[in-house]
């Protein structure tokens, strides 16, 4: 299954706020579709499967993953020792495109993916053009030593105005680079999600 490239506001209306997908807000209140308000009028609730599916879709669309990519992350999270749901989120937050978004290099994860693809981002002073690149502790995320790359990302940082860099990242304002000190904590992730329901969804496959 290919990566979603359709209307983003339609997805956020259906699933709620997805900071990695878009920062725009829709003027419409109802969920998309002609029966968008049907559940509110009839008092119907989503089935248990429907609830789990929506949580999975939140994760998939927020991080811009394909179904096969998300399933691979699920299998890797299960393989590691610890709380599977938290490990899954930490794996996704350690992707290079996600880190660029968190640092304010881009206004969405899709834009961050483009920056990485175009060779603007470095890891430990080496250009990495793979958005899914899994960063490690003590890695240093920086900007390619080229004026066009620096101007582009410095402007993005100013325009995005990220208020708080999570404590697991140490950001150097003078160099516009960051060092990964630790894995992120659950409260540092802005996406509103019940990751246990995502694990349950895949446990029934």
Options 1.10.1050.10, 2.10.10.90, 3.30.390.50, 1.10.1040.10; CATH for 8-91+190-203 is: 1.10.1050.10
Give the per-residue pLDDT at 162: 67
Give the per-residue pLDDT at 27: 56
All structural domains of the chain with their residue ranges: 8-91+190-203, 95-182
Would you give per-residue pLDDT tens digits along the chain (205 residues)?
456 666 666 776 777 777 777 666 655 665 555 545 544 444 567 788 888 899 999 999 899 899 999 999 999 999 999 999 999 999 999 999 999 999 999 988 999 999 999 999 999 999 999 999 999 999 999 999 999 999 999 998 888 766 688 999 999 988 889 999 999 999 988 888 889 999 998 887 6
Angstrom distance (rounded) from CA 62 to CA 145? 30
Could you tell me the fold of the domain covering 95-182? 3.10.290
Give the per-residue pLDDT at 183: 94
């Amino acid at each position: 299954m290919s990566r979603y490239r359709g209307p983003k506001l339609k997805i956020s209306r259906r699933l709620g706020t997805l900071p990695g997908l878009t920062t725009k807000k829709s003027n419409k209140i109802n969920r998309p579709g002609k029966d968008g308000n049907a559940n509110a009028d009839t008092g119907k609730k989503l089935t248990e499967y429907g609830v789990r599916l929506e949580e999975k879709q939140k994760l998939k669309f927020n991080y811009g993953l394909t179904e096969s990519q998300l399933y691979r992350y699920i299998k890797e999270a299960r393989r590691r020792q610890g709380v599977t749901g938290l490990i899954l989120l930490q794996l996704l937050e350690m992707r290079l495109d996600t880190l660029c978004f968190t640092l304010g290099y881009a206004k969405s994860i899709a834009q961050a993916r483009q920056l990485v693809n175009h060779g603007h981002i470095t890891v430990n002073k080496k250009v990495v053009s793979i958005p899914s690149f899994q960063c490690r502790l003590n890695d240093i995320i920086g900007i390619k030593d080229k004026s066009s790359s620096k101007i582009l990302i410095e402007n993005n940082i100013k325009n995005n105005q990220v208020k708080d860099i999570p404590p697991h990242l140490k950001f150097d304002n003078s160099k516009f680079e960051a060092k990964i000190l630790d894995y992120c904590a659950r409260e540092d992730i802005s996406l509103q999600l019940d990751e246990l329901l995502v694990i349950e969804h895949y446990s029934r496959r």
